Structure 1
Amino acid sequence: MDEPLRRLVAEHAATGRLPGRAAVEECRAIGESAAVRGVPLRVLVDDALAAADGTAAPALRRLVAALMDGYEAAQHAALRSEEAARKEFVDDLLQGRAERLAERAEHFGLRLAESYVVAVASGMKDGDQDRIERDLVARFGSHNILVAGREALLVCVSPATLPAAVGEFTHHVRARFAPGWRVAVGRAQRGPGGVVASFREAERALELAGRLGLAASVVKAADLLVFPVLLRDRAAIEDLVNSVLSPLLGARGGHEPLLETLAAVFAVHGNQAAAARRLGVSTRTVTYRLERIRRLTGFSPDEPTQRFTLETAVLGARLLDWPPS
């Protein structure tokens, strides 16, 4: 037992006097010190009760309450410090700031020599992060999962050898996020630089899915690799879009219904009845619009090569926000 604690408790147990502010503050400080040194709270309370020898209950209650207040205050301070360190580490990790990353990663249970997958989710509300992190850590362990909020996104870093983690992350996002949520998953990459690369891929996939108007709630960066390739040669994609789709700009009723029809048809792999349901029109209307597109552009969605050209042009138009307003 701490000698100061023995003295405090014994003194007030012997006299029956309630401890004053100075004694309470001293006891609180003893509790804080014990928490920092890792002394279990139960041990402190047992020692205090033993020193009192069952006498002077009111005085003892006040001293024990102060002892526990100090102990809990130190624990809360340690938690806040840990949360701040964790947030700083995540920011440094995802931005590729390499200072002592491996050493700091060990503190959080990450072995950065392995391959990791980063998933990001949009649509987070207050409180979502803590609940989802708690659930994932309970299932996979804190050494396997790193969950953190970054701006408006929730980020999940998990080993590539633990594919179930991404599925579980998505499950909790689906259950807790507001409608309109989306999860994007980067490719598995090795080392600290790989975590950064996977995170940036996932961010980019999230952005592309929004710009392309994709219906899927879960998108994989590996499935969207063609689009960054297209955008690297902006002049070529602009030329394709203008050459193929410009004839639609003068269509009676505007170009929008025709582009929407093409996008809907491509989304359901050419099934005109399904496209009509997506658009809320009749199948006959879809057939009529596709014929108009063929006459205006010279490209038919029914011919494989021409369909690929049309689909690429439609996706390029979305990527470029074509036509300019």
Structure 2
Amino acid sequence: MVGVGRRRGAGGASAAPPPDAWLVEVANDASRDAGGVPVALLGDYLPLLADAAVTGRRPKRAELDAVGQLGRQAAEQGISAGRVVQLYLSAARRLWQNLPAVARSPDSERVRAAAAAVLHVIDEAVATLAEGYATARRDLVRREEALRRELIDDLLRGDSDLGALVERAEPFGLDLARVHQVALAAPSRRLPDTDAAISALEAVIFDRLGDRDVLVATKEGLLVAIAPADPAAADRIVPAVNPDNDLGRLMHRELDRLRHGHPWRVAVGRAHPGLYGIARSYEEAREALSMAGRLHVDDPVVNAHDLLVYRVLLRDQPAIVDLVSSVLSPLLQARGGATPLLDTLGAYFDTGGVATEAAKRVHVSVRTVTYRLERIKMLTGYDPYDPQHRFTLQAAVLGARALNWPAEPLPAAA
């Protein structure tokens, strides 16, 4: 090892300091330069540099592997890559300035050879350090993603141990005592780059909602977002929505900027408190997503509270099947089938019973609308203009939409 000068001890006797004491000083100074990065992360890097300057020796594979392992340790300790690289570069600079074999040598060729050898060690060591750091970060990201997916699955299932879930949710900043709502985003084809989508959604939700209590992950080909909600909105049928901060609109706008996945559909469950509220909101969002597809909803963002009437109708499916069959099945006898008459009747109810507006929706004349309504009265025995008949007809129309009838046959009676 490179020698150091002697110091005079007590009583005038000269005593040699411990070998490599000056390297310890260099390491400590480099640590301070890098903002307090632990000296231990240098390992045998400084002796390698000193040895290279004196002998020209290149580092062995095992020595470089040890540096790579130190890079992994830095990543696992949460130290930034920039700071750990700064530690190594600062250590190299300070060692070169204090290296006795160089500082005191009058031989320029020797100095150049030493510099070349030291630079070679720096190059290989820093590259290996960075590679080890990157590998560890990738492993950490994969582990975190796996933990995130497992946590999401257990939260959405709603039947896991509450105490264990609270502990597992804490590292992700999720407070399970709060009010949350769940939103699901479905791409048109396959799910695109999930990392980009998750990062984009987390960033925009954090920014708009001003809260870190957000979790975004993937589940069964969908993007899932669990976000905090206004406590006053908990279990409210129709929440007051701020268009700028509406979770569904935020997600759709951000996802629409991605290169793949168009067109997106987003479904949002209602806000509910506690752990089981998350599972409940998820079921509502999933049901709304499925229902929106069956109902051919035009809006790419659907809220569970807007489809509550369909949930009520389908809760007693045998009854709604019976209603649709009894009231609307006679429309199958019409020329052209039941669909044109059913679409006209639905448009008529959706526009508040205004034939002119209904005609615009189904792209026919007002005369055609009135003719079809009369035809419906004749076939079913229910008059769309009669207030007593209208409720039955409208409930049957909503039930037909929910069951996707007549495109699909009615479910068999239990």
- The TM-score normalised by the length of structure 1 is 0.89
Q: Match of 1:171, as an amino acid?
A: R
Change in CA separation of 1:203 and 1:68 when aligned onto 2, cut-off 3 Å:
same
Equivalence map 1:119-158=2 (5 Å):
119-123=183-187, 125-127=191-193, 129-136=197-204, 139=207, 140=209, 143-158=212-227
Contact kept? 2:181, 2:270, Cα under 8 Å: yes
Task: Write out per-residue CA displacement over residues 201-224 of structure 1, whole angstroms, 9 at most, x where no aligned residue.
Answer: 111111122223333322222232
Change in CA separation of 1:219 and 1:133 when aligned onto 2, cut-off 3 Å:
closer
1:88 and 2:112 matched: no
Match for residue 116 of structure 1?
180
What SS class does the counterpart of residue 192 from structure 2 fall into?
A: coil
Equivalence map 1:232-251=2 (5 Å):
232-251=315-334
Structure 2 distance, partners of 1:273, 1:60, is 80
Change in CA separation of 1:52 and 1:26 when aligned onto 2, cut-off 3 Å:
farther
Equivalence map 1:100-111=2 (5 Å):
100-111=164-175
- Find the partner of 1:221 among 291, 304, 320: 304
Match for residue 57 of structure 2?
17
Identity across aligned pairs (percent)? Answer: 44
Match for residue 7 of structure 2?
none
Contact kept? 1:120, 1:183, Cα under 8 Å: yes
Contact kept? 1:31, 1:68, Cα under 8 Å: yes
Contact kept? 2:214, 2:227, Cα under 8 Å: yes
Structure 1 distance, partners of 2:53, 2:174, is 50
Structure 2 distance, partners of 1:11, 1:38, is 31
- 267-276 or 90-99, larger mean C-alpha shift: 267-276
Change in CA separation of 1:209 and 1:165 when aligned onto 2, cut-off 3 Å:
closer
Match for residue 352 of structure 2?
269
What SS class does the counterpart of residue 174 from structure 2 fall into?
A: coil
Change in CA separation of 1:300 and 1:142 when aligned onto 2, cut-off 3 Å:
same
- The TM-score normalised by the length of structure 2 is 0.71
Cα RMSD, aligned residues only? 2.6
Task: Write out per-residue CA displacement over residues 107-136 of structure 1, whole angstroms, 9 at most, x where no aligned residue.
Answer: 100110011011112226302623533432
Shift of 1:180: 4.7
Change in CA separation of 1:90 and 1:13 when aligned onto 2, cut-off 3 Å:
farther
- Find the partner of 1:259 among 335, 342, 365: 342
Contact kept? 2:192, 2:261, Cα under 8 Å: no
- 92-101 or 276-285, larger mean C-alpha shift: 276-285
Contact kept? 2:175, 2:213, Cα under 8 Å: no
Structure 2 distance, partners of 1:268, 1:178, is 33
Shift of 1:175: 4.2
Q: Match of 1:201, as an amino acid?
A: E
Contact kept? 2:202, 2:216, Cα under 8 Å: no
Q: Match of 2:157, as an amino acid?
A: Q
Match for residue 182 of structure 1?
265
Shift of 1:165: 5.5
Q: Match of 1:14, as an amino acid?
A: V
Change in CA separation of 1:266 and 1:183 when aligned onto 2, cut-off 3 Å:
farther
Change in CA separation of 1:61 and 1:312 when aligned onto 2, cut-off 3 Å:
same
Q: Match of 2:120, as an amino acid?
A: P
Contact kept? 1:158, 1:165, Cα under 8 Å: no
What SS class does the counterpart of residue 149 from structure 1 fall into?
A: strand
1:320 and 2:360 matched: no
Match for residue 159 of structure 1?
228
- Find the partner of 1:195 among 241, 256, 278: 278
Shift of 1:171: 2.4
Structure 2 distance, partners of 1:240, 1:92, is 38
Contact kept? 2:183, 2:282, Cα under 8 Å: yes
Contact kept? 1:87, 1:148, Cα under 8 Å: yes
Shift of 1:93: 1.1
Structure 1 distance, partners of 2:307, 2:182, is 16
Change in CA separation of 1:71 and 1:232 when aligned onto 2, cut-off 3 Å:
closer
- 41-50 or 107-116, larger mean C-alpha shift: 41-50
Number of positions where the alignment pairs a residue of Structure 1 with one of Structure 2: 325
Change in CA separation of 1:307 and 1:122 when aligned onto 2, cut-off 3 Å:
farther
Q: Match of 2:218, as an amino acid?
A: G
Contact kept? 1:112, 1:191, Cα under 8 Å: yes
What SS class does the counterpart of residue 84 from structure 1 fall into?
A: helix
Name which one, 1 or 2, has greater alpha-carbon Rg: 2
Change in CA separation of 1:305 and 1:212 when aligned onto 2, cut-off 3 Å:
farther
Change in CA separation of 1:265 and 1:50 when aligned onto 2, cut-off 3 Å:
farther
What SS class does the counterpart of residue 225 from structure 1 fall into?
A: helix
What SS class does the counterpart of residue 44 from structure 2 fall into?
A: helix
What SS class does the counterpart of residue 300 from structure 1 fall into?
A: coil
Structure 1 distance, partners of 2:146, 2:226, is 18
Change in CA separation of 1:222 and 1:285 when aligned onto 2, cut-off 3 Å:
same
Q: Match of 1:314, as an amino acid?
A: V
Task: Write out per-residue CA displacement over residues 213-265 of structure 1, whole angstroms, 9 at most, x where no aligned residue.
Answer: 33332222223223222223223212221221122121122212111222233
- Find the partner of 1:68 among 119, 127, 130: 130
Structure 1 distance, partners of 2:157, 2:375, is 49
Shift of 1:196: 0.5
